[in-house]
A = this chain, B = another copy of it.
Amino acid sequence: MTTTWNDKPREECAVMGVHNHPNAANFVYLGLYSLQHRGQESSGIVTNDKGTFYKHVDMGLVADVYSKTSDMERLIGNIAIGHNRYSTTGKVKKVNAQPFVVSSKYGPMAIAHNGNLVNSQFLRRQLEDEGAIFQTTTDTEIVLHLIARSKKGKMIEKVIDSLDQIKGAFSLAIMTRKKLIGARDPRGFRPLCIGKKDGAYILASESCAFDILDAEYIREVEPGEVVVFDKDGMSTYRLTEKAENSGCVFEYIYFSRPDSRIFGEKVDKARRKLGKMLALEKPVDADRIIPVPDSSNTAALGYAQEADIRFEIGLIRNHYIGRTFIHPVQSMRDFNVRIKFNTVKGVLKNKRIVLIEDSIVRGTTLKHLVRMVRNAGAEEIHVRVSSPPILYPCYYGMDFPTKEELIASCMTIEKMRKYLEVDSLHYLSLDGLLNSVPQKNCSYCTACFSGEYPITPDHKAIKFQLEDGIVTD
C-alpha cells in the first residue's frame, strides 16, 4: 500500500467555530467539508450544550469521520468548534487529532489550532517542571495548561495571559463554558476570518466556508487580535506584543482555495496576478499554456492572458484517487504520477508547451509529468513556476521535506532544468511575488524563499515531536 503523495508543501490545519446557532455542529461540519484541502488526516467537532461538551473526532476525511447521521445528532448545543488536521509525516495519531478537550477548574475547555509554536519545547519543559502531565505530542495542549494555570481573574484575561506566553504561528478557536474565542498571533502568519449567518458569528480559516453556508463575510481577525463571542455579542481584545504583519504568502501561491478570501483579499485575483507577472518576467515563445491541474489553473490563465498564448487543458487529473492505493506493479515507470494524471495527446502533439506549476518541492512529480507530456508528442516543454525557489524550512506550520529533499536547495536552476529534462525552466522572482500579492493590509513572511525568519525558533522546537516517548495507534 502506498500513500498518494503530492509534491507540495503541506498545511497543518483548518479551524472552524460557530457561536449561538442551533445548527452549530452542522455549520462546523459543512465548513470543514469546504476546508478539506487544508487537512486530510483527521477531523473533529466539539459542541457545547449549556456547559456540557460533546466530542466526535476520528482519523480520515470529513466524509468518512461524520458518516452516520447519529454521529452528528449527538453533537448538540449552540456553540461548536472544529478542526481538520494534516499531520506531519509519521506522527499520524488519533490522540493528536483536534479539537483537544479537557476539564479544568473553570469547566470544560476545547481548542482548535492552525499553525506551529516555536517555543513549545521550552514551555512544555517549564510546565512539566511544575508537575503538568501531557497526553499528546502537540504544541496545542500547552495552551490549555497555560490557561488552567493562569493567575489572572477573568477567563478572557487568562486566555490573553496564556497567548502572550506562546510564540510562533497560531490561529485559534477556543471554546469555554460560555464563550467562543478566536485569536491570531501578533504576526498573523495563518489566516482566520469572521462570518455571520442568521445573527450567529462564525470563525473559519478561509471564507469559502462561509459560502457553503450562504453566510456573510465580515472581516479577518487581525494579527494580535482576540475576539470573544458570548451572550453580549462580539468584543475584541489585543495581545500585548506588537509586530509587523507576516502573513504566509504561500496561502496565495498554493494553500487556499481560489474562491476564498485570505488576509482580507481574494485568492483568485492574487493567483492570477502571479501568472501575469510570471509571463512578464519569464516570457517564452510557445503554442500552448498548460496548467498542472488543479492548483495551477488560475496562474496559468493569468500567464496565458498576459502572454496571449492559447490556454489549454492538456493534463487530466483523476479525482477518484483515494488517500492510499495499492501499488501493484513495482517496476511500472511513472506509476505514482500516471495513476493521478493523464495527457490529452491531441492537445500536446507537435506543440511547444509551457507547463505552469505553482511550486516545486522535490521535483519528482514534475519530472514524471514532463516525461508523459514528451511522450504525448510535445515539441518543446518550458516550465514556469509561479513562485520563487523553496530553499528554507518553515517553522510556522507548513510541512516541507528536509533541506536535502528540497530540489532547489540542492541544484542550480540549470541543473534542475537538466534533471527535469525540459527546454527551459524559470521561477517567479521574490520581487515579482511581492509585487503581485495584495499590498493593502499585509506584509508577508517569505522565510521559505529568503531565509529571513520573522521570529527566531527555539532550536529544539523542530525536533520536539520526535522526542516524545509515547506511541499510540
List the 6 shortest-distance A-B pairs measured between CB atoms, nearest first. Answer: A63-B322, A131-B149, A26-B328, A105-B128, A102-B133, A36-B320
Asked whether A470 and B53 contact (CB < 8 A) given A258-B344, A332-B214, A346-B268, the answer is: yes
Instruction: Tell me the bound Cα distance from A473 to B343 in angstroms.
Output: 37
Number of interface residues of A (CB under 8 A): 102
Is residue A262 within 8 Å, beta carbon to beta carbon, of the partner chain?
Answer: no
Query: Is A468 part of the contact surface with B, judged by Cβ < 8 Å?
Result: yes
* Contact in complex: B268, A297 (CB < 8 Å): no
Q: Determine the chain B residues whose CB is within 8 A of the CB of A26 once the complex forms.
A: 328-329
- A320 contacts B61, C-beta separation under 8 Å: yes
Q: Is there an interface contact between B342 and A259, defined as CB atoms closer than 8 Å?
A: yes
Decide: A321 near B144, CB < 8 A? Known: A23-B328, A329-B23.
no
State which of B71, B105, B214, B342 has its C-beta within 8 Å of the C-beta of A129.
B105
A100 to B277, CA, bound (A): 56
B145 touches A29 (CB 8 A): no
- Within residues 125 to 149 of chain A, which ones have a CB less than 8 A from any CB in chain B? 125, 128-135, 137, 144-145, 148-149
Q: Which of B71, B214, B294, B324 contacts A334 (CB 8 A)?
A: B214
A55 touches B318 (CB 8 A): no
User: A interface vs B, CB < 8 Å?
Assistant: 1, 23, 25-27, 29-30, 33-34, 36-37, 40, 51-57, 61-64, 66-69, 71-72, 74, 101-105, 107-109, 125, 128-135, 137, 144-145, 148-150, 177, 208, 211-214, 257-259, 266, 268-269, 294, 297-298, 301, 305, 310-313, 316, 318-322, 324-326, 328-329, 332-334, 338-339, 342-347, 468-473
Q: Which residue of B lies closest to A105 (CB)?
A: B128
